[in-house]
Amino acid sequence: MLTQLFIICFLPTILAAEFIGIARSDVVRSKEMTLDAFNQQLSNYWTSDKLKSAKSLDISLSKTNSKSQPINNAVLTGPESSIAGSLPTNNSTKSKIISPNGRQVYTTGRVFWQVGTTHYTCSAAVIVSKSGDMICTAGHCVYDTTSKTWYNQNNWVFVPGYNNGNTPYGIWPMRRVTALVGWTSQSDYNYDVAMVAVSTVNGQHLQAYVGSQGIGFNFPRSAFTYSFGYPSNINSGLTLQKCSDTTKNSAYTQNNYHGLGLACNMGPGCSGGPWLQNVVDSTGIGYVTSVNSFQITTVPNVINGPYFDMNIKNLYDNSTSM
């Protein structure tokens, strides 16, 4: 079942050592929203009360920890590569502030959207891009694999530095989302990642205003890593939380899952929050190497996230070409 919708690459011999037998997932894009005129309406919609009452998505997906199938490290391997993050270039007083926690506070935030009468929330982070408008989150925060639809694009927004119902760095509406078919068609947690381009707000680009995190591909699987997010089980998800530890192979070994696990007590709401390696203390800027994805019901206090391999690099490269 897993391989049905994947395209297996038959690459020239010279690449065979890197790519042999590995599933490659196509990129899929949502429609594009043209929202500059809509911005004011959106920020009026998202009142502090709505932000505070938004529901966190459940991340313990009743996955059992069966050891019956050995892990198949089906990583679409390639050379380690990275793109460095950036400090804000807008020197307004607000965007210049670096707290003792560094830039992290401003590049990480929460996303919000509405389905029917319910408001939902996840976490996300600004990642470096040419357009200066890109955030990275989990696939399950943008696409509903049950109804096979993108979540409501009309009021899906990113709030950097979200704090207790406040939006200190504004509300940035989704312009377009890019994800992988491996997530949208297969619900495969190896591909639980999405890149979201946001609209400019008053002509200003998000990255110029709050800075950006770098992104890293094919990084070491075992490395000291931070995870950030807004989990509802800690301070009701009102403030940014973090965990840190050395990553390990995920204990979830079914369905060719080759993601990583990180000791962390963050629960629902932290989904989509960035995992960061090589963070520079003075700036809070590092390299996003995964996002918070799911917990295994039988393995408490460990968050699992996809390994950023060449599939995720293809996703990133495609999204930055928008």
Ligand X SMILES: *[C@@H]1O[C@H](CO)[C@@H](O)[C@H](O)[C@H]1NC(C)=O
Contacts of 70 (CB under 8 A, 6+ apart): 253
| Cβ–Cβ < 8 Å for 285, 103 | yes
Applying CB under 6 A, does 90 fall inside the site for ligand X? Answer: yes
* 139-178 residues near ligand X, rule: CB under 6 A: none
Considering only residues 5, 9, 29, 36, which one is a binding residue for ligand X as defined by CB under 6 A? 29
* Closest among 322, 318, 34 to 179, alpha carbons compared: 318
| Residue 6 CB, nearest approach to ligand X (Å) | 14
Q: How many residues bind ligand X (CB under 6 A)?
A: 11
The residue range among 21-29, 60-68, 104-112, 241-249 that interacts with ligand X, by the rule CB under 6 A, is 21-29
| Cβ–Cβ < 8 Å for 63, 294 | yes
| Residue 39 CB, nearest approach to ligand X (Å) | 13
- 121 versus 178: smaller Cβ distance to ligand X: 178
* Closest among 132, 173, 185 to 42, alpha carbons compared: 173
Gyration radius (Cα) of the chain, Å: 18
Applying CB under 6 A, does 283 fall inside the site for ligand X? Answer: no
The residue range among 23-31, 54-62, 123-131, 214-222 that interacts with ligand X, by the rule CB under 6 A, is 23-31
Applying CB under 6 A, does 92 fall inside the site for ligand X? Answer: yes
Applying CB under 6 A, does 3 fall inside the site for ligand X? Answer: no
Considering only residues 26, 36, 58, 245, which one is a binding residue for ligand X as defined by CB under 6 A? 26
| Site of tokens 């509802």 | 232
- 138 versus 210: smaller Cβ distance to ligand X: 210
- 26 versus 58: smaller Cβ distance to ligand X: 26
Applying CB under 6 A, does 131 fall inside the site for ligand X? Answer: no
Applying CB under 6 A, does 318 fall inside the site for ligand X? Answer: yes
Task: Name the phi and psi angles at 17, rounded to 5.
Answer: -65, -30
Beta-strand pair 55-56/118-126: parallel
Considering only residues 73, 131, 204, 253, which one is a binding residue for ligand X as defined by CB under 6 A? 204
Residues in the chain: 322
Kindly state the tokens that stand for 233: 């089980």
Applying CB under 6 A, does 24 fall inside the site for ligand X? Answer: no
| Residue 128 CB, nearest approach to ligand X (Å) | 17
Applying CB under 6 A, does 27 fall inside the site for ligand X? Answer: yes
Considering only residues 48, 66, 91, 246, which one is a binding residue for ligand X as defined by CB under 6 A? 91
- 172 versus 252: smaller Cβ distance to ligand X: 172
| Site of tokens 């629960």 | 267
The CA-to-CA distance between both ends of the chain, in Å, stands at 32
| Residue 227 CB, nearest approach to ligand X (Å) | 29
HSE-CB at 36 with a 13 A cutoff on CA atoms is 6
SS3 (DSSP) at 94? helix
* Closest among 263, 247, 256 to 296, alpha carbons compared: 263
- Residue 225 host element (H or E): strand 224-229
Contacts of 133 (CB under 8 A, 6+ apart): 175, 197, 198, 199, 200, 205, 206, 207
Applying CB under 6 A, does 40 fall inside the site for ligand X? Answer: no
| Residue 162 CB, nearest approach to ligand X (Å) | 17
| Cβ–Cβ < 8 Å for 303, 190 | no
Applying CB under 6 A, does 18 fall inside the site for ligand X? Answer: no
Binding site for ligand X (CB under 6 A): 26-27, 29, 89-92, 204, 208, 318, 321
